[in-house]
A and B are shown apart, each in its own frame.
Chain A
Amino acid sequence: MQTYEEMWRNLGLNLDAHEGLLKALSGFYSSIYASQKNRPNAMKYFDFVISEVHGLRIKELQEAKAQGKKVIGTFCVFVPEELILAADGVCIGLCAGAEAGFELAEQYLPKNTCGLIKSFFGFKLARLCPYANSCDLVVGETTCDGKKKAYELFNEFQPVHVMEVPQTKSENAKSLFHSEVMRFKERLEALTGTKITAERLQKTIQIVNNKRRALNRLNELRAAPIPPISGLDSLLINQIAFYDDPVRFTNAVNELCDELEERIKNNVGVARGDTVRILMSGCPMAIPNWKIPAIVEGTEAVIVGEESCVGVRNTRNTVAEGCKDVNEMLKAITERYFQIDCATFTPNTERLNHIVEMAETLKANGVIHYAIQFCQPYTIESKRVEDMLASKGIPLLRLETDYSMQDVEALKTRIEAFKELISP
Chain B
Amino acid sequence: MKIAGLDVGSRAIKLVVLQKGECILKKEVATGFDYVQEVQTLLEEIQPHKTLVTGYGRHLLAQHMGFEHVTEIKAHAKGVHNLFAEVRTILDIGGQDTKAISLNPNGRVHSFVMNDRCAAGTGRFLEAMATSLGCSIIELNALALRGSNDFSINSTCTVFAETEVISLKAQGANPADVARAIFKSIAQRAASLLNRLSINPPLCFCGGVARNKALVQELKAMLHMPVLVPEQPEFTGALGAALLASMT
Which residues of A come within 8 Å of B, CB atoms? Answer: 400-401, 406-407, 409-410, 412-414, 416-417, 420-421
Q: Name B110's closest neighbour in chain A (CB-CB).
A: A421
**How distant is the Cα of A412 from the Cα of B54 in the complex, in angstroms?**
12
Cβ contact of B114, chosen from A401, A413, A420, A421, cutoff 8 A: A413
A410 touching B114, Cβ below 8 Å? yes
Question: 7 nearest interchain CB pairs?
Answer: A417-B73, A417-B71, A416-B71, A407-B117, A420-B74, A413-B71, A421-B109
19 contacting pairs across A/B (C-beta < 8 A): A400-B116, A401-B117, A406-B117, A407-B117, A409-B56, A413-B56, A413-B71, A413-B97, A413-B114, A414-B112, A414-B114, A417-B71, A417-B72, A417-B73, A417-B74, A417-B112, A420-B109, A421-B109, A421-B111
The residues of B that contact A410 with a CB separation of less than 8 Å are: 97, 114, 117
**Count class of interface residues, chain B:** 10 to 19
Please state if A413 and B73 are interface contacts (CB–CB under 8 Å).
yes
- Which residues of chain A are within 8 angstroms of B117 by Cβ–Cβ distance? 401, 406-407, 410
Chain A residues within 8 Å of B56, by CB: 409, 413
Decide if B39 is an interface residue (CB 8 Å cutoff).
no
* Given known A409-B56, A412-B59, A413-B56, contact A420–B70 (CB-CB < 8 A): yes
Known: A414-B112, A417-B74. 8 other contacts (CB 8 A): A409-B56, A410-B117, A412-B59, A413-B97, A413-B114, A416-B70, A417-B112, A421-B112
| A401 to B117 CA separation, bound complex (whole angstroms) | 9
Q: Which residues of A contact B74 (CB under 8 A)?
A: 417, 420
A413 and B70 contact, CB distance less than 8 A: no
Contacts of B71 in A (CB 8 A): 413, 416-417, 420
- Docked complex: B97-126 residues within 8 A CB-CB of A: 97, 109, 111-112, 114, 116-117
> Taking CB as reference atom, which chain B residue is nearest A413?
B71
A413 to B111, CA, bound (A): 13
> A420: which B residues are within 8 A, CB to CB?
70-71, 73-74, 109
A152 to B117, CA, bound (A): 32
Q: In the bound complex, what is the Cα–Cα distance between A400 and B56 (angstroms)?
A: 20
Within 8 A of A (CB), among B106-148: 109, 111-112, 114, 116-117
Contact residues in B for A413 (Cβ distance below 8 Å): 56, 71-73, 97, 114
In the bound complex, CA of A416 to CA of B73 (Å): 9
Residues of the B chain whose Cβ atoms lie less than 8 Å from the Cβ of A421: 109, 111-112
Shortest C-beta distance, B68 to chain A (Å), equals 12
| CB under 8 Å from chain A, chain B span 137-176 | none
Bound-complex Cα distance A257 to B70 (A): 36
Nearest B residue to A419, CB-CB: B71
How far is A416 from B72 in the complex, measured between Cα atoms in Å? 10
In residues 62-113 of chain B, which contact A (Cβ within 8 Å)? 70-74, 97, 109, 111-112
Interface centre among B109, B114, B117, by most chain A C-beta atoms within 10 angstroms, is B117
Query: A400: which B residues are within 8 A, CB to CB?
Result: 116
A409 CB → nearest B CB, Å: 6
Chain A residues with Cβ below 8 Å from B72 are: 413, 417
* Bound complex: CA A409 to CA B70 (Å): 14
How many whole Å from B10's CB to the nearest CB in chain A? 9
Closest chain-B Cβ to A366's Cβ sits at a distance in Å of 12
Q: Convert B209-232 into 0s and 1s, putting 1 for each residue whose CB lies closer than 8 angstroms to a CB of A.
A: 000000000000000000000000
Bound form: Cα–Cα A261–B180 in Å:
65
Residues of A within 8 A of B114 (CB): 410, 413-414
Complex alpha-carbon distance, A401 and B116, angstroms = 9
Closest residue of chain B to A298 (Cβ to Cβ) is B59
Is B109 in contact with A417, judged by CB distance below 8 angstroms?
yes
Measured in the bound complex, the distance between the Cα atoms of B114 and A401 in whole Å is: 13
Separation of A400 and B74 alpha carbons in the complex (Å): 22
User: How far, in whole Å, are A412 and B70 apart by their CA atoms in the complex?
Assistant: 11
CA distance A406 to B116 in the complex (A): 12
Using CB atoms, name the residue of chain A closest to B10. Answer: A409
Distance of A416 Cα from B56 Cα, bound (Å):
12
Residues of B within 8 A of A406 (CB): 117
Considering the complex, give the chain A residue whose CB is closest to the CB of B117: A407
Query: How many angstroms between the C-alpha atoms of A39 and B84 in the bound complex?
Result: 47
Bound CA–CA A414/B73 (angstroms): 9
Nearest-Cβ distance from residue B58 to partner chain A, whole angstroms: 9
Cα distance A417–B75 in the bound complex, in angstroms: 10
A421-B103 Cα distance, complex, nearest whole Å: 11
CB distance from B101 to the nearest CB of A (A): 9
* Distance, CA A200 to CA B122, complexed state (A): 62
With a cutoff of 8 Å between Cβ atoms, the chain B residues found around residue A417 in the complex are 71-74, 109, 112
